[in-house]
Amino acid sequence: MIELQGIQKYFNRGEPHEVHALRNINLQIAHGEFVTVIGSNGAGKSTILNIIAGVYAPDDGKVEIDGRDVTRLPEYRRAAFVGRVFQNPLDGTAGSMTVEQNLALALRRGERRGLQRGVGRQRRNQFREALASLGLGLEDRLDARVRLLSGGQRQALTLLMATLRRPDVLLLDEHTAALDPGAAAKVAELTATIVERDRLTTLMVTHNMQQALALGTRTLMMHQGQIILDISGPERRNLTVQDLIARFAAVRKDKEVIADDELLLTGATSENQHPPTT
């Protein structure tokens, strides 16, 4: 389980350009829950992921994972139980290394690294089996340099690497946004399969509201550093994108033109528009 208690986060605090990125966030996510997070630019979506991953320490509040206080635990220590996939497919893999070498590194994430034996037959078979589950033919390309893979293949490999050790928490930061529509759909499908199969506690940030409702079991909407909607169960299953737009407008209590808000713009566009991240 993930629990955030009274999380506050500022950037450039005390300076003219101070940003209050997270405002008293209280959030509980149960074991195995798959939560999608949406919101307009600057809403604080990626900041929440960075707080959980240990990239940023909160200015106030507490972070617990499976009952353990990790508020001050550094990112490299959390890597042993937190998996992460970023928007850019290049960020999660080492392009100059082979598929096999990347998987071997992922298997040792969070451990001390020293001189090790090469990958043995049993481990190689494990990698082939895991790659075969992706349905992309990568099980026959263990010796291929990762830089030779397509963006979709590389992001699928990154997803596999992030989940190879079945982490306590999986964080997905717009991980399909930089892909073409076909590859994005494939990676989204793989995401749903892996998360459900391994019952991974997952947070996925997305700008695409259709994807936010199609994947996962619960959806959070953020605005100006706060969670303004938290929807799950039958209420969520019956929601359409237009319903979500209406709920967003109602909570904000303003009359801004829908087209002026990037969140609402991207609800109907394909993910290869490369929306900026928060």
pLDDT tens string for the chain (278 positions)? 999 999 999 999 989 999 999 999 999 999 999 999 998 888 999 999 999 999 999 999 999 999 999 999 999 999 999 999 999 988 989 999 999 999 998 888 756 554 455 577 888 999 999 999 999 999 999 999 999 999 999 999 999 999 999 999 999 999 999 999 999 999 999 999 999 999 999 999 998 889 999 999 999 999 999 999 999 999 999 899 888 888 887 776 654 444 334 454 444 444 333 333 34
State the Cα torsion 119-75-66-221 to the nearest 10°: -110
What structural domains and CATH numbers belong to the chain? 34-57+83-110+120-273 (3.40.50.300)
Predicted local distance difference test score (pLDDT) of residue 147: 95
Distance (Å) of CA 235 to CA 218, 219, 243: 10, 11, 11
Predicted local distance difference test score (pLDDT) of residue 258: 42
Per-residue pLDDT of 103-114, as tens digits, reads 998 888 756 554
User: 0.85 exceeded by the pTM?
Assistant: yes
Quick check: 231 and 239 in contact, CB under 8 A? Answer: yes
Quick check: 26 and 81 in contact, CB under 8 A? Answer: no
Return the HEC string of 209-245.
HHHHHHCCCEEEEEECCEEEEEEEHHHHHCCCHHHHH
